[in-house]
Structure formats: C-alpha cells, structure tokens
Amino acid sequence: MNDLAGKHIVLGLSGGIACYKAAELCRALIKEGASVQVVMTEAAGQFITPVTMQALSNRPVYASQWDAREPNNMAHINLSREADAILIAPCSADFIAKLLHGRADDLLSLLCLARPIAQVPLLIAPAMNREMWAHPATQRNLAHLQADGATLLGVGNGFQACGETGDGRMLEPQELLEDVIAFFQPKRLAGQQVLVTAGPTYEAIDPVRGITNRSSGKMGFAIARAAREAGAQVTLVAGPVGLPTPRGVTRVDVKSAQNMLEAVMQHAVSASVFIATAAVADWRPATTAEHKIKKDGTGQCPSMGFIENPDILATVAQSPRATAGALFCVGFAAESHDLLAHATAKRVRKGVPLLVGNIGPATFGHDDNALLLVDERGARELPCAPKLVLARQLIADIAGRIRVSA
C-alpha cells in the first residue's frame, strides 16, 4: 500500500531538538508514496543540516525567501501552490506564535501565509518543553490557529531533551505518518460514534491456563483505525492481544467474554455503529480452579464441564436502540468451511443487517484477508487484500448503508 501516492507534502522544520525526528518522518512519507519538499528555518539549521534533508527527500532544501533558484524569485508562492499540504514538524512555540499573528519574516512563515487556505491545508506538529506547552499563551495561540483552520496533530508525553518529563514532545514519526494518512482519508463517518470489538477472549481454567483462539485482533484493529480515519469517534474493546492502539482510538482492554459484554453494553448506549469483529469464545469452563490443576500420575485428564457464553452481538442487536434504528450493528463470522451458508444463517439468527464472513484458519494472525459481505439481498465478496484496505472498504460500505437508512 502507498497511502500517500500522488501527494506532495511541504515539510517545514522550525528550530528545536525534535528536528532529528523530521529525518525519519521524511523517509516515512516518501515510503508511503508522497513527494516531499523540505523547507527549513535558520534555527532548524542549527539542529539538522540541509544536506541531510536533501539526501532523504531527494530534493534541494529551501531555507531563504531570496532563493535565486526560482526564476521569479517567489519561492513562497511556487512552493505553496504545488503542495497538497504543508506539515510543520517540529513546530516550535515561537513559530506557532508567528503563524498566529501572520508574521512572514522567513520563507517558511511566508509560504504558510501565502498558501491558498481552501486548497492547501496546514498541519502542525508542536514540539517544546512541557512548561512552554502548558503556558496559557501557547494554548491560546493553538486554539486560535485551529479556529483559523489549521490542523493540530497533538503532542506526546515523556522524557524531554532538557531532562524534564511531561507533555510537549513531538509525536514519533510513525504516529505523525498515521495522522497525515488519516487526514487525507474521506470523512464518511464524521459525527458518528463507532464501537468495535477485536481479538479473542480468554476463559480461565485455572490461574495459569485458559481457553482462547488464534485471533490476532488485526482485522478489528484495522477497522477501528479505518473508522477513525473516516472521522468517527471510536471505542475499541480489545481482548488479550499485543497490538498498539490505533491513533485517536479509545481502547478498553478485556479478557473474558463476560468482561467484553459488560464493556460493550457500557459503551453501546452512546454508539451509532457497532462492529463485532472479536472472536468470542462460545463456551467457558463451568468452574475455575483456585490453584493450578496438576497431573496426578494416572494419565487421566480431569473432567471439566462447560457453560455457554453470552451472545454479545445478539444482545446488542436486540437492544432497544438497535431495534429502533439508532444503532447499526455489523457482525463477523469466522468459519472453517461453507462460509456463505454459515454466514447467511448467522446473520438471520443474530438479527443484524450486515454480516461479514471470513475463513478463520486462513486469516488468523495474517496481515491480509478476504471478506464476504452478507445482507438481506445476498452476498458480495471483497477479494484478498491487506486488512487495512479491507477495513476501509468495509467502513465505506457501512457509511453508505447508514446514509440510505437515515
């Protein structure tokens, strides 16, 4: 996937130690298909050389508004008109203030001011000491910049170069890349609140053993990311998996099916879309041993009774909000054979408008998948592709259904 193919990004660097991260960010943008034109302030040149950024971007770096390489000597016009977006990373407290007041005493601030606001968005990745970040003047400036149309990408929390710890660090390159990719995605679910379940559940047998399955959670996490990219507020209820939380997604970690049901019911009251991607265990041990069950030398396995777990999808689909049309429910079916037949029957049994089927053994733990979308009219296949690609296709499909039913 090249999520930024065809995009031209002006990457602006203002003064700050976080300039070292801009090198990796530049590489990441290019690997995703974007072309990158670096523009540096004089202060940025104290932290990283133009030679480094030129080598990484494969383009001459601009630093002066009087650059003679431009035939018309109007680099601020030419560079801003060519861009699909201007990304300032790092954006210092001083540069934020400069942007707010429309000052234009260097090339980077000049091209930000000269950009066609309706066509060339401005993305800001702040970087500064925690006290500078928390200062009322900085927060006022950021609020006013956002009101003027700039997009704030936020900051990280942690150890800072000055030796202090707190908010104000520039986000990591991979985080910024994910935010830039999300920025360009169509906002099909703007204003929606999406609830997603992902991963397996874990049903304890004793303190060290349990029943689970091979679901990695990758499909559900991809759906959560795609929904957030589409402009939704997303809550992700995740079983025991080791995946990083998608940017901008609220995560709730659970273990058992009962834990997951409780979390889902708590958040379903405010959701407008529920996507049940998790591979929930159908059964759990009737009792959980207080201590580890040990072998006794007889060669016989201890007998174990099972009881059925709650049906999370059916419970939500039959809730008053879902039956009234205020909550659009989507189910998943991970089957081992006869996918169409099982998915069709499951859709009717669960009472949901859309059921997404896949072959579990062929997708658990993998980075790609193939989906079968089953509704009352029949079935449509989404051919094998990376899970994020399929997630975006599924989100687009769901958004279309919501618009039709609205």
317/349 same-domain check: yes
Q: How many domains does the chain have?
A: 2
Is 227 within the bounds of a domain?
A: yes
Q: Are 357 and 342 in contact (CB under 8 A)?
A: yes
Q: Are 42 and 143 in contact (CB under 8 A)?
A: no
| Final residue before a domain boundary, out of 184, 206, 229 | 184
| Final residue before a domain boundary, out of 184, 211, 245 | 184
The predicted structure's pLDDT at residue 80: 93
CATH (domain of 323): 3.40.50.10300
* Overall average pLDDT of the 120-134 stretch: 97
Contacts of 58-67 spanning 24+ positions with Cβ under 8 A: 58/30, 59/35, 62/37, 62/38, 62/107, 63/39, 63/107, 64/107, 65/106, 65/107, 65/110, 67/107
139/76 same-domain check: yes
Count of other CB atoms within 10 angstroms of residue 374 = 25
Active-site residue (options: 19, 26, 112, 162): 162
Is 272 within the bounds of a domain?
A: yes
The predicted structure's pLDDT at residue 5: 96
At residue 354, φ and ψ (nearest 5 deg) are -140, 130
Q: Which domain holds residue 379?
A: 193-286+307-405
146/226 same-domain check: no
175/243 same-domain check: no
The predicted structure's pLDDT at residue 302: 82
The predicted structure's pLDDT at residue 318: 95
Is 297 within the bounds of a domain?
A: no
Is 295 within the bounds of a domain?
A: no
* Short-list 120, 106, 170, CA closest to 149: 120
DSSP class per residue in 143-193: HHHHHTT-EE---EEEE-TTS-EEEEEPPPHHHHHHHHHHHHS--TTTT-E
| Final residue before a domain boundary, out of 167, 184, 201 | 184
The predicted structure's pLDDT at residue 360: 72
The predicted structure's pLDDT at residue 222: 97
pTM over 0.95: no
| pLDDT, tens digit, 9 for 90 and up, residues 229-265 | 999 999 999 999 999 999 999 999 999 999 999 999 9
Tell me: pLDDT of 361 over 90. no
Count of other CB atoms within 10 angstroms of residue 389 = 17
Distance between CA atoms of residues 334 and 351, nearest Å: 17
**297: its two tokens:** 């030398």
Q: Are 255 and 270 in contact (CB under 8 A)?
A: no
Tell me: pLDDT of 405 over 70. no
| pLDDT, tens digit, 9 for 90 and up, residues 262-313 | 999 999 999 999 999 999 999 999 999 899 988 888 888 888 899 999 999 9
**393: its two tokens:** 């296709």
| H or E element in which residue 262 lies | helix 257-268
Residue 231 one-letter amino acid: G
DSSP class per residue in 78-135: HHHHH-SEEEEEEE-HHHHHHHHTT--SSHHHHHHHHS-TTTS-EEEEE---HHHHHS
Q: Are 56 and 11 in contact (CB under 8 A)?
A: no
Is 301 within the bounds of a domain?
A: no
Question: Among this protein's residues, is 162 annotated catalytic?
Answer: yes
- pLDDT top residue among 334 and 162: 162
* Overall average pLDDT of the 174-196 stretch: 97
Tell me: pLDDT of 71 over 90. no
**70: its two tokens:** 């431009």
Give the percent of the chain with pLDDT over 70.
99
- pLDDT top residue among 354 and 68: 354
Count of other CB atoms within 10 angstroms of residue 207 = 12
Burial zone of 359 (CB within 10 Å; 0-12 exposed, 13-18 middle, 19+ buried): middle
Tell me: pLDDT of 68 over 90. no
> Per the omega criterion (within 30 degrees of 0), is the bond before 90 cis?
yes
345/318 same-domain check: yes
* Overall average pLDDT of the 122-141 stretch: 97
CA distances from 211 to 201, 202, 262, 285 (A): 8, 6, 19, 8
Is 3 within the bounds of a domain?
A: no
51/96 same-domain check: yes
Q: Are 95 and 132 in contact (CB under 8 A)?
A: no
228/360 same-domain check: yes
- Average pLDDT across the chain, whole number: 94
The SS3 of residue 56 is helix
Is 292 within the bounds of a domain?
A: no
DSSP class per residue in 313-359: HHHHHTSHHHHTTSSEEEEEEEESS-HHHHHHHHHHHHT-SEEEEEE
Is 1 within the bounds of a domain?
A: no
The predicted structure's pLDDT at residue 336: 80
Tell me: pLDDT of 335 over 90. no
CATH (domain of 77): 3.40.50.1950
141/106 same-domain check: yes
159/28 same-domain check: yes
369/393 same-domain check: yes
Residue 351 one-letter amino acid: G
202/316 same-domain check: yes
106/223 same-domain check: no
Distance between CA atoms of residues 230 and 188, nearest Å: 5
| pLDDT, tens digit, 9 for 90 and up, residues 372-398 | 999 999 999 999 999 999 999 999 999
* Overall average pLDDT of the 134-148 stretch: 97
The predicted structure's pLDDT at residue 406: 57
Which residues are within 8 A (CB) of 68 and not within 5 positions of it... i.e. 6 or more apart?
none
The predicted structure's pLDDT at residue 304: 86
